[in-house]
């Protein structure tokens, strides 16, 4: 390594996991200098604010610790500028690295920046059009909604919808700050075509507005769950729905019973004042 330089060892429980070395930035790189936008004089005056990742050696068996390289570099970069300031009297503003194209494509950060700049709904529409053109429009009749927290993204949470039979992605909605999955799922449901499908969600989404979005707005049916910690709703379900209650069928075999039970909740299956309502799959009120 040449010029100003620092060396690091990444450890875990006393074991050496990686070796990282930083040196002075490359004197001249056309692509880098064009990306930064500086001229020759600016480069000479500011090049000392750049460090080059001259060495990176991951130790131990490959795959033993997933994401080890990214984790080690992230921790290193958190302290690099302060360490450089302490030793050489100036901070580090930009770091650079060279990629062996025979082993790596070096596109991860580029792809991330591009996707971050693309509007979510526009990307979703393009992805759906691509899936439809490649695989056709035929899907199964079950749509599943579920929420996930993205690893390594801070506090980002998403609610996604997929078709259970085909596995096709139908849409994604981000959970707003200081909120939860319920309003995000309701917003996503408004964008989905649920005609002729059954929507499945976990007990968190056993809400009147969510059920109304599926049935009245989307034209579908739903299966919603009641858990033991939903005491009030569970008591109502046990009171209004018999143990042998089953959804209606296209032939109407179980439909009469579903209609009678649901009819207790109000004319036309409207929610009662206490907020409880039922609907049998297949279109029974």
> For the domain that residue 167 is a member of, what is the CATH number?
3.30.420
Pairing between β-strand 94-96 and β-strand 50-58 as defined by DSSP bridges? parallel
- Contact call for residues 23 and 84 (beta carbons, < 8 A): no
Domain boundary among 223, 252, 271: 223
By residue count, the chain amounts to 285
- The pTM of the whole model exceeds 0.75: no
Residues 68 and 127 in one domain: no
Query: Please, what are the averages of pLDDT over each run of 10 residues along the chain (285 residues)?
Result: 94 93 90 87 92 91 82 93 96 88 64 76 82 77 88 78 86 87 91 89 89 90 83 80 59 38 36 40 39
Token pair of 263, please? 């009819």
| pLDDT computed for residue 279 by the predictor | 44
Residues 159 and 251 in one domain: no
Of 134, 193, 121, give the one whose Cα is nearest residue 163: 193
Token pair of 175, please? 């959970």
Domain boundary among 179, 203, 223: 223
Q: Is 150 helix (H, G, I), strand (E, B) or coil?
A: coil
| pLDDT computed for residue 243 by the predictor | 67
| pLDDT computed for residue 265 by the predictor | 35
Domain count, the chain: 3
CA distance 274 to 265: 10
- The count of other CB atoms within 10 Å of the CB of residue 198 is 19
| pLDDT computed for residue 134 by the predictor | 81
Whether residue 111 is contained in a domain is answered as no
Cα three-residue angle 46-70-17, rounded to 5 degrees: 105
Residues 251 and 157 in one domain: no
Of 262, 212, 216, give the one whose Cα is nearest residue 240: 262
Residues 216 and 237 in one domain: no
CA distance 69 to 240: 57
- Contact call for residues 140 and 163 (beta carbons, < 8 A): yes
Residues 123 and 201 in one domain: yes
3-state DSSP helix/strand/coil percent for the chain, to nearest 5?
A: 40, 20, 40
Owning domain of residue 174:
119-223
Beta-carbon contacts of 147 under 8 Å, excluding residues fewer than 6 positions away, are 157, 158, 159, 160, 175, 181, 184, 185, 204
Q: Convert 221-249 to b/e letters by CB count within 10 Å (16 or more is b).
A: bbebebeeeeeebeebeeebbeeebebbe
- Contact call for residues 51 and 24 (beta carbons, < 8 A): yes
- Contact call for residues 284 and 215 (beta carbons, < 8 A): no
Beta-carbon contacts of 38 under 8 Å, excluding residues fewer than 6 positions away, are 46
Whether residue 1 is contained in a domain is answered as no
Domain boundary among 223, 240, 257: 223
CA distance 169 to 164: 10
| pLDDT computed for residue 4 by the predictor | 95
CA distance 8 to 18: 8
Name the residue with tokens 């299956």.
269
Residues 172 and 258 in one domain: no
């Amino acid at each position: 390594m040449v010029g100003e330089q620092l060396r690091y060892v990444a450890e875990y429980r006393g074991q050496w996991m990686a070796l990282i070395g930083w040196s002075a930035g490359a004197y001249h790189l056309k692509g880098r200098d064009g990306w930064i936008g500086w001229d020759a004089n600016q480069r000479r005056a500011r090049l000392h604010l750049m460090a080059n990742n001259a060495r990176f050696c991951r130790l131990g068996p490959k795959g033993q610790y997933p994401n080890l390289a990214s984790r080690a570099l992230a921790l290193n970069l958190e302290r690099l500028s302060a360490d450089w300031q302490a030793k050489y009297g100036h901070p580090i503003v930009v770091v650079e690295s060279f990629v062996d194209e025979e082993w790596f494509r070096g596109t991860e950060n580029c792809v991330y920046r591009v996707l971050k700049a693309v509007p979510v709904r526009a990307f979703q529409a393009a992805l759906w059009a691509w899936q439809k053109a490649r695989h056709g429009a035929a899907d199964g009749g079950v749509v599943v909604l579920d929420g996930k927290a993205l690893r390594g993204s801070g506090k980002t949470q998403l609610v996604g919808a997929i078709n259970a039979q085909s596995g096709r992605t139908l849409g994604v909605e981000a959970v707003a700050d200081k909120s939860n999955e319920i309003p995000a799922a309701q917003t996503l449901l408004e964008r989905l075509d649920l005609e002729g499908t059954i929507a499945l969600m976990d007990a968190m989404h056993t809400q009147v507005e969510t059920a109304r979005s599926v049935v009245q707005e989307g034209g579908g049916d739903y299966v919603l769950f009641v858990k033991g910690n939903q005491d009030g709703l569970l008591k109502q379900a046990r009171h209004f729905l018999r143990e042998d209650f089953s959804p209606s069928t296209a032939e109407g075999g179980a439909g009469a019973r579903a209609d009678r039970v649901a009819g207790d909740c109000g004319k036309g299956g409207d929610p009662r004042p206490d907020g409880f309502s039922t609907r049998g799959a297949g279109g029974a009120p």
